[in-house]
Amino acid sequence: MTSVSNRPISQPLLLAWCGWLLASLLLHLMLAGAGAFEVREGLIQPIQRMLQSVMIGLVVIWPTWRLSQAHRDEGEWHVLSNWLCLVLVLQVTIWPLRYLIGQSDALGWSVQRTWVIDLTFVAWSWLVAAWVRLGVRRGTPAARSIVLVIIILLLLAGPLVATWTRRPEIGAISPYVSLWRLADPYVRLETAVEVSRSAGVAVLGIAVWMLGRDAGGGGHPADPTL
């Protein structure tokens, strides 16, 4: 039997994440009504909203919960393993959606489009995980609060700048705007642009993670169940 200290993710967090994924799908399908199933196009907006809800859980709710913990994690294992488990569980949700919305560019999600959607989730959640790691590493309540504010600003930067400059294309920097566009099979997929954008976000996450490793300092040992 695996000891508690070797668990990569706590059971309550895993159950909460699975519940969030299931609730996000069922809620938006129910809100769309039975008419959404009469034509394939009727499922597009419910799935778009569902993906945005999933992103909120991954890059807002999880960081808020993790940064609210009183302990301090000196190692990298817990934040990294939490993020990895959340992303792996997410795969069980994203890929089956192809069978619900369609499996070709003409009628739904191609494999390429699904990979790009998946990469958007992975890149942005990795960037957020790196900031969470930095906040946990710093340890003080003030540092955690500042990190959470930074995360929120990063997520809102695209829409805010787009509104301020009146250039809506800048809003694509936001993961919420990107997911809305990518989930619509009638929007042309620019794979190179989307992959480059996600790669840039991932590289930024690596830089923040390295900054977290240099933060150093003492503190209380981590709660092994988190």
Residues 97-107 have pLDDT tens digits of: 888 776 555 56
- Tokens 């890149």: give the residue: 123
Tokens of 102: 């369609």
Confidence at residue 107, expressed as pLDDT on a 0 to 100 scale: 63
Confidence at residue 221, expressed as pLDDT on a 0 to 100 scale: 42
Confidence at residue 153, expressed as pLDDT on a 0 to 100 scale: 87
What crossing angle do the helices spanning 175-182 and 44-56 adopt, rounded to 10°?
150
Residues 6+ apart with CB under 8 A from 56: none
Extents of the domains making up the chain? 10-213
Positive or negative torsion for Cα 192, 47, 177, 124: negative
pLDDT tens sequence for the chain (226 residues): 444 445 556 778 889 999 999 999 888 888 876 555 555 667 788 899 999 999 999 999 999 988 887 555 545 678 888 899 999 999 999 998 888 776 555 567 888 999 999 999 999 999 999 999 888 887 788 888 898 999 888 888 777 777 777 776 666 778 888 898 898 888 888 889 889 989 999 999 999 988 866 655 444 444 434 4
Instruction: Summarize pLDDT for 121-145 with one digit per residue, the tens.
Output: 999 999 999 999 888 887 788 888 8
Confidence at residue 21, expressed as pLDDT on a 0 to 100 scale: 93
Confidence at residue 144, expressed as pLDDT on a 0 to 100 scale: 87
* pTM higher than 0.75: yes
Q: How far apart, in Å, are the Cα atoms of 59 and each of 9, 69, 170, 172, 222?
A: 17, 16, 20, 17, 22
